[in-house]
């Protein structure tokens, strides 16, 4: 089914994600190219809907802003919402189920019911292409393959395969002799989703990767799988180049952005900072500490800022001097290129996507993960 006004020789694509990640940007780009049939998600903020009006009365200002961020600014994009109430329940669990007692199982259930609805829509609309995301695509891909419809299946890898995540975590646990709580929770999730992750890669006709790191992980097991690298971008009107401070003798400000947990390498950063033992610099940890509260280091030159809304992140970068990303794995770090867009030099591990944008010794330094001395 071709949309009215679209050229007949152009494919019509569906982009589907039960949550968000960079799927909005993909949908918008396809719409700009007149290739988008529809964008499908679960929770999509609409202040005209009674549901969101009611939620707005009970939620705080910041939570309303979080909800408002779940929308595409381009009005011409055809948005469809499936399993909306289930999506809201998942977002609630994300806030309250810090130990992931039922969160991961519910996520698997949500991707199943959502994926089946997406597949049903694609079959009915006779779409040429479906783009879905790692750990969310298995059920839709499986149903469409079994139906033998002529719909090309593209898997967008926002991270690395869960098999590789499990391997990295197990290696780190052996090295340090234990598996800290934050790492155990990541391992539990990756292990539960491992089979679906493997199957969706096998079912995909092609794979999209943000950097060379997830591509190389995929190629280890699937050397013949076609992978296309499409790096993420930054809104340069929002993340503007910072004006260098003329204040002398002030403390140098280092900033870390992301969940404060072991797989993000935060503990290696905190250990390195503790060893440095300096009063001439400050380390700002920006992100949720919920999974690793008992793993934090308390020092006067470390600030735990917590979650910061996207719209306020440019000022965080402008008030900082150096950005650090010590992650054990990333698909391609969005905060890395946001910080660089603001003019910050970076210290980044080689598995964060940094090799795509950092020239070692020029605009930053690339280091090995989990290396405190480095």
Tens of pLDDT, residue by residue, the chain (374 residues): 344 444 456 779 999 999 877 898 899 999 999 999 999 999 887 777 777 777 666 666 666 666 666 566 666 789 999 999 999 899 888 878 878 889 999 999 999 999 999 999 999 999 999 999 999 999 999 999 999 999 999 999 999 999 999 999 999 999 989 888 888 889 999 999 999 999 999 999 999 999 999 999 999 999 999 999 999 999 999 999 987 766 667 899 999 999 888 899 988 999 999 898 888 999 999 988 766 666 677 788 999 998 898 889 999 999 999 999 999 999 999 999 999 999 999 999 999 999 999 999 999 999 999 999 99
Residue that the structure tokens 């898997």 belong to: 155
Residue 71 has a pLDDT of: 62
C-alpha span between 271 and 329 (Å, rounded): 19
C-alpha span between 262 and 245 (Å, rounded): 33
Q: How many CB atoms lie within 10 A of CB 127?
A: 22
| Beta carbons of 323 and 317 less than 8 angstroms apart | yes
Residue 190 has a pLDDT of: 95
| Beta carbons of 341 and 323 less than 8 angstroms apart | no
pTM above 0.85, yes or no: yes
C-alpha span between 364 and 357 (Å, rounded): 10
Residue 180 has a pLDDT of: 84
Residue 1 has a pLDDT of: 38
- Label each residue of the chain as H, E or C: CCCCCCCCCCCCEEEECCCCCCHHHHHHHHHHCCCEEEEEECCCCCCCCHHHHHHHHHCCHHHHHHHHCCCCCCCCCCEEECCHHHHHHHHHHHHHCCCCCCHHHHHHHHHHHHHHHHHHHHHHHCCCEEEEECCCCHHHHHHHHHHCCCCEEEEEECCCCHHHHHHHHHHHHHHHCCCCHHHHHHHHHHHHHHHHHHHHHHHCCEEEECCHHHHHHHHHHCCCCCEEECCCCCCCCCCCCCCCCCCCCCCEEEEEECCCCHHHCHHHHHHHHHHHCCCCEEEEEECCCCCCHHHCCCCCCEEEEECCCHHHHHHHHHCCCEEEECCCCCCCCHHHHHHHHCCCCEEEECCCCHHHCCCECCCEEEECCCCCCC
Q: Which residues of 256-295 are buried (b: 16+ CB within 10 A; e: fewer)?
A: bbbbbbbbbbbbbbbebbeeeeeeeebbbbbbbbbbbeeb
Residue 67 has a pLDDT of: 62
Residue 269 has a pLDDT of: 93
Angle 370-288-188 (CA atoms, 0-180°, nearest 5)?
A: 65
Residue 14 has a pLDDT of: 97
C-alpha span between 76 and 112 (Å, rounded): 28
């Amino acid at each position: 089914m071709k949309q009215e006004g679209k050229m007949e020789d152009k494919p019509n694509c569906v982009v589907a994600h039960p949550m968000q990640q960079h799927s909005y940007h993909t949908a918008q780009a396809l719409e700009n190219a007149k290739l988008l049939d529809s964008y499908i998600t679960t929770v999509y903020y609409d202040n005209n809907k009674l549901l969101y009006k009611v939620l707005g009365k009970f939620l705080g200002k910041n939570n309303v802003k979080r909800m408002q961020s779940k929308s595409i600014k381009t009005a011409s994009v055809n948005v469809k919402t499936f399993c909306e109430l289930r999506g809201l329940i998942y977002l609630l669990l994300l806030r309250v189920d810090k130990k992931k007692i039922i969160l991961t199982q519910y996520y698997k259930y949500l991707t199943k019911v959502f994926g089946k609805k997406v597949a049903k829509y694609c079959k009915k609309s006779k779409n040429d292409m479906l783009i879905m995301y790692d750990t969310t695509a298995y059920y839709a891909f499986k149903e469409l393959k079994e139906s033998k419809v002529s719909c090309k299946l593209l898997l967008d890898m926002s991270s690395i395969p869960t098999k590789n995540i499990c391997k990295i975590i197990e290696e780190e646990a052996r090295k340090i002799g234990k598996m800290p709580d934050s790492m155990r929770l990541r391992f539990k999730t990756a292990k539960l989703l491992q089979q679906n992750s493997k199957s969706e890669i096998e079912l995909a006709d092609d794979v999209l990767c943000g950097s060379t790191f997830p591509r190389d992980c995929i190629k280890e097991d699937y050397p013949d799988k076609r992978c296309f690298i499409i790096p993420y971008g930054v809104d340069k009107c929002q993340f503007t180049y910072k004006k260098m401070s003329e204040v002398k003798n002030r403390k140098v400000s280092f900033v870390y952005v992301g969940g404060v947990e072991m797989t993000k390498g935060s503990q290696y950063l905190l250990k390195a900072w503790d060893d440095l033992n300096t009063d001439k610099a400050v380390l700002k940890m920006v992100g949720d500490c919920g999974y690793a509260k008992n793993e934090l280091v308390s020092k006067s030159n470390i600030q735990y800022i917590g979650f910061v809304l996207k719209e306020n992140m440019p000022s965080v970068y402008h008030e900082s001097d150096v950005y650090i990303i010590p992650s054990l794995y990333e698909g391609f770090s969005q905060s890395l290129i946001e910080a660089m867009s603001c003019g910050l030099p970076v210290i980044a591990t080689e598995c964060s996507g940094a090799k795509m944008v950092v020239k070692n010794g020029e605009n930053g330094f690339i280091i090995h993960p989990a290396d405190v001395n480095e």
